[in-house]
Amino acid sequence: MGELAFLIAERVGLIILLAFILVNIRPFRRLLLDATPANLFKLALIFSAFAIISNLLGIEIDPDNHIMRETILWHVTPGYSVANVRILAVTVAGIVGGPGVGGLTGLVAGTHRMMQESWAADAWFYIVSSTLIGILSGMLYHKNRRHFVVMPPWQGFLVSLVMESIQMIFVVFFSPTHLKLAHFIALPMIVISSIGTAFFLMILSLYFRQEVDTRAVQTRSVMKLAVRTLPAFRHGLQSESARQVTDLILEYTDFDAVGIGNTEKTLAFAGAGSDHHYHDMPKADVPRFAKQALQNRQTQLAYNTGQIGCHNDHCPLQAGMAIPLTLGSRVLGVLTLYFKENWQLTPVEIQTGEGLGEILATQIVLGEKERQAGLLRDAELKSLQAQISPHFFFNSINTIIAISRFDSEKARFLLRELSTFFRSNLLGANQSKIPLKQEEAHVKAYLNLEQTRFPDKYDVEFYSSVDDQVLVPPFAIQVLVENAIHHAFGNRKTGNIINIWITKSGKYLEIRVADNGEGIDPAVIGKLGKEKIDSEQGSGTAMQNLNARLKGLYGDSAKMQIVTGKTGTSISLLIPYAQTKQDLNTEGASI
């Protein structure tokens, strides 16, 4: 049995070596990350090859349990048996690819094993056992592969123990020498193959950890890039600003080429292929997938030159993505990112590109809003934007950069929240009323960013008993919440509670924000919301603007009520209850 154990360990070591080589090939790693039907089929073919290799390296055993010395086992002598490690390949196939990959790998492995028996009628059980094991191990597949999770090696060891035991049950009942063979091969096959499975998964886990590190590095790079690109779009999307940004993207990312265009032409291009992708390229020459992104308002992925749609047959760019730059219903332009090799277009790069597109779209509109500030019809909203945009943006960016060093997933979440906050801010600037759902998302995005900057300082609860499509003035809730955060609690670090209630009171919608802070100075309570206040805690401009907007929208039907004391403050807004969209002003600013 010692000799058999050594030979099995030798085969397992070879499989592990092949696995290590394979994981270092980037196209294979993309198959693990992007679970499309085509990629899963390719995975099944790869693991089937592993299983066939395991069969060919099998150890032939005669009826008296003597080991036969064969380098490559093309055929099995009638009445003889084989010890091999194909179940290792089948089990791992199921764990990393799911029941489909595991089942198909098991079917191929079992069929090849039966072929080694010259299609003997009593060898059918190899097909049944291998397919069953592949499907069962596939039940433990992590579908959320984009989160870079793979089964821990110790769990893989236990799963493999079970799967090898199932195979051994089939051996006992259907092999030529039944229990005699099982007694000889069971212990080394079960234990050593299970150890091999654990090592296989350990290699995959090591790779996935590297991917997490890559994400963290890319997140930090994108954050730094966001800070650098903000000044470039100070005057909106123009040729000069687009050229600055394409150069910056090349500097901070791994893309081989970058293009930025508006709805009419490519404004700027940098990187490989600049001889035929150029600045101010007319729409007729713009790559087809960029036009499709503008038309469909969806990210377009290209894994070959044909899908890119470049007019130059010698273009060095083999893969890329075209990301529409949108805000609400408006299409601002398109960002195109390219690679020289199609295997470089991984899910990580796709998420990086889409996140970058959201940042640029927001920055373009921020810049355009600044340029057109004098033309804004709503002076109060303009004032609100002037207060929150630059200061809040840079504080949030610095916070996200810091978090990305130890929690890249949270940094990505906060980046999406920052995008939501500014998108809502800009959309609200062009509307007199918005659905409660939109305002709630805006407030929650703001709170998530604030609570990340000041963890455990605020406890905020949101209660709503009305339809989320009821119409409210934009920023109404956000102003009250921000007022509580900045002015209610003084220097108190913990135990700060803010409650938000949205209820229907007869024909009115009541918005109430209450805190357990220090209360409002009685000397200024009568002025708050009506005029500017000369106070060390603030001027009250935001509350004054909010009250003026309510009066402008609803006249005397709108009311602001303030109740304050030593145990806190409650501010209520009463406005007419409305669910129709007739009052919505959906006119968007143009670029």
Residues of the chain with CATH 3.30.450.40: 230-371
Q: Is residue 219 over pLDDT 90?
A: no
Q: Residue 375: pLDDT band by 50, 70, 90 thresholds?
A: very low
Tokens read off for 268: 């700027």
Q: Is residue 574 over pLDDT 60?
A: yes
- Predicted confidence at residue 535, as pLDDT, reads 62
What is the percent of the chain where pLDDT is above 90?
19
Does the pTM exceed 0.85?
A: no
- Predicted confidence at residue 182, as pLDDT, reads 82
Tokens read off for 19: 């696995």
CATH 3.30.450.40, applies to 230-371: yes
What DSSP character marks residue 85? -
Phi, psi of 142 (to 5 degrees): -85, 105
Task: Evaluate whether 116 touches 75 at the Cβ level (below 8 Å).
Answer: yes
Give the domain 2-214 fold.
Arp2/3 complex 21 kDa subunit ARPC3 (1.10.1760)
Per residue in 519-561, pLDDT (tens digit) is 888 877 777 777 766 666 666 777 877 887 787 677 778 888 9
Give all strands of the β-sheet with 265-271 in edge-to-edge order: 281-282, 265-271, 257-261, 330-339, 319-327, 300-302
- Predicted confidence at residue 538, as pLDDT, reads 62
Gap between the Cα atoms of 187 and 172, Å rounded: 14
Residue range 380-576 forms a domain whose CATH class is alpha beta
Q: How many CB atoms lie within 10 A of CB 6?
A: 11
Task: Evaluate whether 520 touches 565 at the Cβ level (below 8 Å).
Answer: no
**Average pLDDT rounded to a whole number, residues 349-356:** 83
Gap between the Cα atoms of 75 and 498, Å rounded: 76
Nearest to 172 by CA among 160, 164, 181: 181
Q: Judge residue 373's burial from the number of C-beta atoms within 10 Å of its C-beta, 0-12 exposed, 13-18 middle, 19 or more buried.
A: exposed
CB neighbour burial string for 405-416, b if at least 16 within 10 angstroms, e if fewer: eeebeebbebbe
- Predicted confidence at residue 534, as pLDDT, reads 64
Tokens read off for 182: 């099982």
- Predicted confidence at residue 557, as pLDDT, reads 80
- Predicted confidence at residue 470, as pLDDT, reads 92
Tokens read off for 155: 């769990």
Residues of the chain with CATH 1.10.1760.20: 2-214
Per residue in 194-203, pLDDT (tens digit) is 998 898 888 8
Gap between the Cα atoms of 198 and 202, Å rounded: 6
Q: Is residue 388 over pLDDT 60?
A: no
* Range with the poorest average pLDDT among 148-162, 237-251, 424-438: 424-438
- Predicted confidence at residue 497, as pLDDT, reads 92
Q: Is residue 511 over pLDDT 90?
A: yes
Task: Evaluate whether 79 touches 176 at the Cβ level (below 8 Å).
Answer: yes
- Predicted confidence at residue 215, as pLDDT, reads 61
**Average pLDDT rounded to a whole number, residues 493-500:** 90
Query: Coil, strand or helix: which one is 254?
Result: coil
- Predicted confidence at residue 130, as pLDDT, reads 92
Gap between the Cα atoms of 286 and 259, Å rounded: 10
Per residue in 290-339, pLDDT (tens digit) is 999 988 889 999 988 888 988 888 889 989 999 998 877 678 889 999 99
**Amino acid symbol at 479:** V
Gap between the Cα atoms of 191 and 125, Å rounded: 22
Q: Is residue 112 over pLDDT 60?
A: yes
User: Mean pLDDT score of the chain, rounded to an integer?
Assistant: 81
Residues of the chain with CATH 3.30.565.10: 380-576
Per residue in 250-291, pLDDT (tens digit) is 888 889 999 999 888 888 999 998 888 888 888 888 899 999
Q: Residue 570: pLDDT band by 50, 70, 90 thresholds?
A: very high
Per residue in 61-99, pLDDT (tens digit) is 888 888 887 678 888 888 888 888 899 999 988 888 889
Per residue in 431-489, pLDDT (tens digit) is 778 899 988 988 888 888 888 888 888 888 999 999 989 999 888 898 899 888 888 88
Q: How far is the CA of 53 from the CAs of 7, 67, 109, 203, in angstroms?
A: 15, 19, 9, 20
- Predicted confidence at residue 522, as pLDDT, reads 80
- Predicted confidence at residue 368, as pLDDT, reads 67
Q: Give the β-pairing of 458-464 and 330-339.
A: unpaired
- Predicted confidence at residue 426, as pLDDT, reads 67
Tokens read off for 241: 């600003």
- Predicted confidence at residue 144, as pLDDT, reads 43
